[in-house]
Amino acid sequence: MTVGIDLATYTTTLTHVAPEHDLKPVRSFDAAGRLGARVFDYLQAFHGSRDIEKVGNGLPAKGFAGLSPEETAKVIASFDHEQDSKLLDEMHAADPALHLLHKIRLSAWGWSYDRIGWNETVDAYQGIRSFDLGVDCLETTLDHTTWRHKQGRSQHARMILDGVFGFLVHHRGEHVMTIGFSFASERRLLVHQVQLRNRTGNRWLFKLPGNRMELVIDRMRAAFPRHTIMVADGNSVADTILDFYRKDREGIERTVTDYRARLARTPANDDLRTYLAEAEAAAVKSDARIAHLEADRPRLAAFYGDLGRHRTRGRAFSSNGLVHRAIAA
C-alpha cells in the first residue's frame, strides 16, 4: 500500500518576487487592496495596529478569503511572528502547499538557525513537487516529521527520518526506499539518508541504472538546480540513528520497569501482564536493532562514501549531529 503524500497534491503555483521583497513578499502586491478595509479594521480593533506584518498572525482564516493561494502564502511568509497553532492547522488543511512551505521554513531554521527568503522557499517547494527518481517502475511520495521536529518519527510511514523530509520510493505500491533530506539556509539541500526499507528481498534494485547514491544525487540536482546538494557522512549517520535508538530503548526500559512494579502490586491483572510482555518484546527487538546498526557501521561509511562519479568539495557543514559535504559542480 502506497504511503505518504502524492506529489501531485501540491497544485498551487508559486512565483519569485523582486529581490527587495524577498523577506517580505507581502510587499510584492497590493495587499491592502486585495484584503480590503474590513481586514485592517479588524486588526486595528483587536490587535491595536493596521500593520499586517506585525499583527497579521492574529487574523482568522476567513480574513484571507479574498486572496489567491499564492497571495495568502506571501502574506503568511511576511509575518513577524508565527500564527496560532490551531489557525495554522486550519489553513494547512485547506491548502497543503501552505503546510509544505511552513515545513520548509522550519527545516531551514532547525538545520541552520536562519530564516530563508521567499524565493529560496519557492525553489525548495518547486523542487519537492517536481522530484522524480526517473525509473519507470518506481513512484515517489513525500513524508515529513511531525509538528516542529527536525528529526524523528515521520507522519505517514511512521519511520525514523534523520531530517525533516523523506521521499518515500515505492515499487508496485510497496515502500522500498527512503531518501531523507532537509533544507538549510544559503540554498543548501542536505541529503541525510538513502535507506532501504527491507534488508532482504530488494530485487527491484536491479532496475536502478547503477550506483544508488549517484542516482539520488543526479535526481536531486535535476529537481533542485539552484541548491547546493550536500551528502551526509556515513559515520555521522550511524551515530545519529544509534543515538535515537538508544534513547528509544531507554524509554522502553522505563515502561518495562513501570509495568513490573505495577504488576507486583496487582499480580492478578492480566492486562498489565500482556502490556509487560509487549514491552519486553519491544526491548528485545530494540536491542537487536542497535546491535545490527553497530555492526553495520563500516558498510554505512562505505556506502555514503561511494558517490559514483561525484566528488565532495569544501568545508563540512555540521548540524544536529550530522556532517554533510557539498557535491562538486
Question: What is the pLDDT averaged over residues 191-202?
Answer: 94
Contact between 10 and 124 under an 8 Å Cβ cutoff? The reply is no
Stretch 238-246: mean pLDDT, rounded?
Answer: 88
What pLDDT band is residue 103 in, cutting at 50, 70 and 90? very high
What is residue 10's predicted lDDT score, i.e. its pLDDT? 97
Q: How far apart are CA 95 and CA 304, in angstroms?
A: 36
163 within 8 A of 107, measured Cβ to Cβ: yes
C-alpha distances out from residue 321 to 28, 71, 139, 241, 282, Å: 38, 37, 30, 10, 26
DSSP label at residue 64: G
Any residues with CB less than 8 A from the CB of 93 and at least 6 apart, and which?
Answer: none
Q: In 306-324, where does DSSP find H-type helix?
A: none
Q: Is pLDDT at 329 greater than 90 in this prediction? A: no
Say what the pLDDT of residue 41 is.
96
The mean of the pLDDT values for the chain is: 95
Kindly report which listed range (67-71, 76-80, 236-240) carries the lowest average pLDDT score: 236-240
Query: Of 240, 226, 282, 289, which Cα lies nearest the Cα of 259?
Result: 282
The predicted pLDDT at position 233 comes to: 94
The residue to which cell 510482555 is assigned? 277
- Predicted confidence band at 244 (pLDDT cuts at 50, 70, 90)? confident
Kindly report, residue by residue over 297-321, the tens digit of the pLDDT. Answer: 999 899 999 999 999 999 999 999 9
Roughly how many angstroms between the first and final C-alpha of the chain, as a whole number?
38
Give pLDDT tens digits for 116-156. Answer: 999 999 999 999 999 999 999 999 999 999 999 999 889 99
pLDDT band at residue 87 using 50, 70 and 90 as cut-offs:
confident
Give the angle subtended at the CA of 307 by the CAs of 218 and 293, to the nearest 5°.
Answer: 115
Which pLDDT belongs to residue 36? 95
Widest CA span of the chain, in angstroms?
A: 71
DSSP output for 279-312 = HHHHHHHHHHHHHHHHHHHHHHHHHHH--TT--E
Task: Give the model's pLDDT for residue 183.
Answer: 98
For the segment 176-196, the average pLDDT, to the nearest whole number, is 97
Which tens digit of pLDDT belongs to each residue from 10-42? Answer: 999 999 999 999 999 999 999 999 999 999 999
* pLDDT, average across residues 1-16: 95
Taking each helix axis from N to C terminus, what angle separates 118-130 and 96-112, rounded to the nearest 10 degrees?
110
Q: What confidence category does residue 86 fall into, taking pLDDT thresholds of 50, 70 and 90?
A: confident
Quick check: 294 and 200 in contact, CB under 8 A?
A: no
